[in-house]
Structures are given as structure tokens and as C-alpha cells.
Structure 1
Amino acid sequence: MEAMTRLRIDLAYDGGGFYGWATQPTLRTVQGTIESALHTVLRVPQDDPDQRLRLTVAGRTDTGVHASHQVCHIDLDEALLERAVGHMNVSGIEALRRRLSRMLPDDITLHRVSRAPSGFDARFSALERTYVYRIADRGSEADPRMRGFVLRIDDRLDLDAMNEAAATTIGLHDFGSFATPNPGGTTIREVKYARWERVPVRPLIDATGLAYETPAVESGLVCFTIVADAFARNMVRSLVNGCVQVGLGKRDLDWFAGKMAVPLREGSTGPIAPQGLTLEHIAYPADDQLAARAEAIRAVRTL
């Protein structure tokens, strides 16, 4: 039996051209695109059931959602990994990174391919995930270059009210009003941080005496940053939608608190548009705690 190597892959993608992360038979997805490239680079037939190259990801993003830093892993036997070397005088892992980077489309970028430490599981070892949702409301000027990554809202948002709503999400809760469980799973999650902020207008050049000021591209945008141990399906976008309804004055804080208190899914707490959402960071524990974390997180949580 060949020795197996687990590789950690750190990557980013523009989700606008993908139907989410998870492989679907007839649709373009991030996982499907990368796995297809792996089969090509390693010369493994995609219809060979005994050598199916499968990625395990930290968090499956939905259709149209972006990632500036996603993490996944794959298990390969050493002999298969050496196929990537060819005439290059580099390790199998570095050869795979180079060939895979050239094979992937422009809307996927590899940050790093590395040998995973013992006990590492991209999904179950993760301590927390950080998402940011970006909005251009009436209080900001929407830069057309950001149109694929920012949601435009015509009215000005009340950030104070939205932060009062967001504060009720912090802690261990059942987010059943704002999420859909996986089969056999739960919507109980622990939110560690949730806050709305308007990006201050920042000049590109920090100097005095200039006749004009060129702002940074994110200046004036409204950003929602949320950190949790994990997220259920549609959870972030649904929480954003709930907060936005409060911020526009369409719903009050008692309504939002009621949704948190009674985890019942219904139409008013559906997900907002996907383009404003980006997965920004995945955090992991120290190497000697990876296996224990993965074992603990596999247990079904309760309140």
C-alpha cells in the first residue's frame, strides 16, 4: 500500500462565475474546477472510481460568494504526487503547486500548497471562520470596480440599530431562523464577533498640502464582520438580511430578537444577495491540538 500524504491548499476565488464550492454534475463550481485540474496534472482518469481525487474544504461557500482565503485538503499517495515533478528540479508538492496554478482559471488563485501536519482536517480542525459582507449605501459612493463584490442599497443604513441587532447573535445560539441544517446536523453555532462598521475615507497618499485627495477603494463602504466557530447554510447572508431590514427601518429590534429567541425559518429571514459576501480567514489551533479539535467538533452540538 502506498504511503499517503495529506496536502493543505490555501486559495482564493472570485465566486461570481461559480455555482458555489461543492461539485455539481453539470454546473461550474470551485471544487469541481480544482479537482478536474488535479486529475489532468496528475494524469488520473476522472472516471476511475478507485482514484477519485476529492477535496475536503473548511466551509462550502454558496453560489456567487467569494473567498480571499479558503482552506482545503486532499490525500494523495507519494507515487502519484511524484508524477507532477516531470523535468522540474523541485519537490513533488512544489511541482504540483506550479502546474496546478498554471492550469486553473483566472478566477481561482493558489496562495500555498503545503504538507499538512499530523491530525490536520481542513473542515473539522478549524477553530473559527471570518466573513465580511460589504454594502454601498447612500452614505458611500459605489466604485464600479467593486460591483462584483459589493451590494448596492439606495438608502442610508442605520448602523447603530444594526449593531444592536448584531450584538444579540454573539454567543452560543440556535440560528434556526437564519439557517438551514445539513441532514443530521444542527443550526447551533457560536458567534464570537459580529459588528457593522463604515470604512473611513482614507487617502491613498498620507500627505499634507495636496490640492485633492484620492480615496482608497473601500472608503465609505459599510462592512459587516462576523466570526464564528462554524456557519450553517445561508446563515451569514440571512443574518445580514435581517440586520439590513432593521437598518432600513423595515423591521424593529424586537422582531430581530424574536427571531433569535425562536429558531423558526420563514420568509422574512431569507438570505440577501451573495455578491457582497467574502470568506476572509480560517483559523486553526496549534499543530499538537489539530486532531483533538477535529474529534471534538464532529460531535453534534446542543444548547
Structure 2
Amino acid sequence: MDNDDTVVRLRLDLSYDGTDFSGWAAQPGRRTVQGELEAALARVLRLPEASLTCAGRTDAGVHARGQVAQADVPRPVWEAEGERLLRRLAGVLPKDVRVRAVRPAPPGFDARFSPLYRRYVYRVSDAPYGVDPLLRRYVLWHRRPLDEARMNAAAALLTGEHDFAAFCKRREGATTIRELLRLEWERVDGALLEGTVQADAFCHNMVRALVGALLAVGDGSRDVSWPGEVLGAGVRDSSVHVVGPQGLSLEEVRYPADAELAGRATATRRVRELPCRGRTG
């Protein structure tokens, strides 16, 4: 695509409230983020269709503050509409999804394969009365008090490069080896805790399974060593509870410097094929 002067690759930075979506990926008969965005983009650019590729597909109910996607469009169309595109998209998109920025991507940019890492945050409240009604769509209620020190001790046993098969839903032909760069909890406001989960990439259900395991440690149901033991077993463990999607948000997708984009994408493809059309979270 980089050598095709008739086409320009656009980078779109997105945010959405995932509550009323059946996830990112387009599905017949279902309302999805990809479906809404592609329809809006085709409409404002007057194209028969538009196709988006994302940095990380999110499941039903999962939110995003820092999703990134790409679209290849005819150069004359971009040159005619570029300056107006952001405002025009704001006028046709539903209120629960926003394009915050759109611009031509640098050479070698691949929304799916170029990222250095994806960073998610999971929000949970252990308040005895439940979740603040104004936050109920974005915060999970945990009924028992949580000890974030225990959770962080357990999390430290999971960071690094491992086979996360015990915390992932397997997909045929896809590896479950991931490098978990950061996994830590912080009590940010009384009863509200935020868990930051950062990795080069994630497999299906990985984030919510990790959170479920650490919540069990935090409330004393499991020993601090238990998540590490589950990881070491290397098989999906039915005792690991996959928590609900409402507390999870894709906060950031970090890319390397422009000169390193193509090399990063090539290296990622060589290590594994990560289906952006497969799920994250």
C-alpha cells in the first residue's frame, strides 16, 4: 500500500462506550463498533464501502479510550474531504462512539501489527453498598473487601513472557504466548481500584481471566501463589472466573517511532499471527 500513490492510509484514534455494542467486529444482525464506524466513514466519504482494521478487537461490553484503527481510502477522496472529515463523522456517528483524530498514517504503519503494546485498565469497587450509579456501566462491584497488596504480590508472579494458555480461550493455529509487561493494582479513590494490564498483545479473555484470578486473591479466597500455579499448569483452568466486561477499557495503544513501524510489523507477523478479527479482553 505504501507504494500506491492512489491510496492513502488513514489512522483513526477512537473512543467508545462498549455497553450497547456486541464488541468491535462487524457481525450480521448485531450492533458493533466496526459496523457503525465503517457505515459512517463510507457515508461521509461517499464510498460504496469502507473497511477498518483495529489495533485490538474488544469483546461485547468492553470500552475503549485509546483504540486505533486504519482505513485505506482513495487519495482524491481524502484530499477533498480531509479537513472536514472529523467534524462530519461527529455529525453522523452515534454518541457512544467518537473518532477523536484522523490523519494520514506514516509509511509502514499497521494498526494491527505495528504496536509495541496495548494497555488496558480494569476498574472495580469493593464498597459495601455497591457501585456509584453514575459509574455502574464502567465499574465492576466486588462484594468482598479487597487487599491490593495481596493482588500485587500475586500479579508479580505473572509478569514476563509466558504461555498464558491457562488464562486464554484457545484458537486453532494461534499461540497463547504473550509478554505481560505490567500488571498492577492501585486503590485510587476509597473503594475504587484500578488494575493496569499491559502486554505486547492479548489473547481471548486473557485480561478478564487475569483480573478474576487476582480478585480471588484480593478477597482471601485464594493464596497469593495460586495464580502463578495456574499459569504454570499451562491449561485452561475452570476455577478461574472470567469477570464481566463492564470494568474493562482499552486505554492506550503505543507505537514505535515512524522509522521503526514497518520493522515492528514485520517482526510481529514473524512471531505470530494475531487476529485483530479475533478477540481481546
The answer to whether the superposition gives a TM-score over 0.5 is yes
Between the aligned partners of 1:111 and 1:26, the Cα distance in structure 2 is 27
Between the aligned partners of 1:297 and 1:131, the Cα distance in structure 2 is 20
- Are 1:57 and 2:47 an aligned pair? no
Aligned position for 1:97 = 86
Task: Report the alpha carbon displacement of residue 255 of structure 1 after superposing the two structures with TM.
Answer: 2.5
Of the three residues 140, 151, 161, the one matched with 2:140 is 151
Change (3 A) 1:23 1:6: same
Of the three residues 91, 102, 125, the one matched with 2:114 is 125
C-alpha contact (below 8 Å) 1:16/1:148 kept by paired residues: yes
Of the three residues 85, 91, 104, the one matched with 1:115 is 104
Alignment of 1:135-284 (within 5 A): 135-138=124-127, 142-200=131-189, 220-284=191-255
Task: Report the alpha carbon displacement of residue 269 of structure 1 after superposing the two structures with TM.
Answer: 2.0
Of the three residues 20, 23, 33, the one matched with 2:23 is 20
3-state SS, counterpart of residue 125 of structure 1: coil
Between the aligned partners of 1:139 and 1:119, the Cα distance in structure 2 is 50
Change (3 A) 1:140 1:297: farther
Of the three residues 269, 272, 289, the one matched with 2:260 is 289
C-alpha contact (below 8 Å) 2:130/2:141 kept by paired residues: no
Change (3 A) 1:40 1:155: same
Of the three residues 64, 67, 70, the one matched with 1:70 is 67
3-state SS, counterpart of residue 98 of structure 1: helix
Larger Rg: 1
Aligned AA for 2:95? Answer: D
Task: Report the alpha carbon displacement of residue 97 of structure 1 after superposing the two structures with TM.
Answer: 1.8
Aligned position for 1:207 = none
Unpaired segments of 5 or more residues in structure 2?
273-281
Task: Report the alpha carbon displacement of residue 93 of structure 1 after superposing the two structures with TM.
Answer: 1.8
Aligned position for 2:278 = none
1:181-234 residue CA offsets vs partner (Å, 9 max, x unmatched): 44421111101111011014xxxxxxxxxxxxxxxxxx5411101111111111
Aligned AA for 2:65? Answer: S
3-state SS, counterpart of residue 261 of structure 1: helix
Aligned position for 1:210 = none
Change (3 A) 1:267 1:141: closer
1:222-268 residue CA offsets vs partner (Å, 9 max, x unmatched): 11011111111111001000111111222223332211112211322
1:10-30 residue CA offsets vs partner (Å, 9 max, x unmatched): 010000010110110111010
1:63-85 residue CA offsets vs partner (Å, 9 max, x unmatched): 00000111000101113335xx4
Q: Tell me the TM-score normalised to structure 1 length.
A: 0.84
Between the aligned partners of 2:269 and 2:140, the Cα distance in structure 1 is 35
Larger mean Cα displacement after TM superposition, 261-270 or 13-22: 261-270
Aligned position for 1:205 = none
Between the aligned partners of 1:269 and 1:246, the Cα distance in structure 2 is 11
Aligned position for 1:88 = none
Task: Report the alpha carbon displacement of residue 162 of structure 1 after superposing the two structures with TM.
Answer: 1.0
Aligned position for 1:41 = 44
C-alpha contact (below 8 Å) 2:68/2:111 kept by paired residues: yes
Between the aligned partners of 1:268 and 1:20, the Cα distance in structure 2 is 25
Larger mean Cα displacement after TM superposition, 252-261 or 23-32: 252-261
- Are 1:106 and 2:77 an aligned pair? no
Q: Percent identity?
A: 49
3-state SS, counterpart of residue 58 of structure 2: coil
3-state SS, counterpart of residue 156 of structure 1: coil
Task: Report the alpha carbon displacement of residue 283 of structure 1 after superposing the two structures with TM.
Answer: 0.5
Task: Report the alpha carbon displacement of residue 2 of structure 1 after superposing the two structures with TM.
Answer: 6.7
3-state SS, counterpart of residue 118 of structure 2: strand
C-alpha contact (below 8 Å) 2:131/2:140 kept by paired residues: no
Between the aligned partners of 1:268 and 1:145, the Cα distance in structure 2 is 32
Between the aligned partners of 1:248 and 1:270, the Cα distance in structure 2 is 14
How many equivalent residue pairs? Answer: 269
C-alpha contact (below 8 Å) 1:132/1:225 kept by paired residues: yes
Between the aligned partners of 1:279 and 1:140, the Cα distance in structure 2 is 27
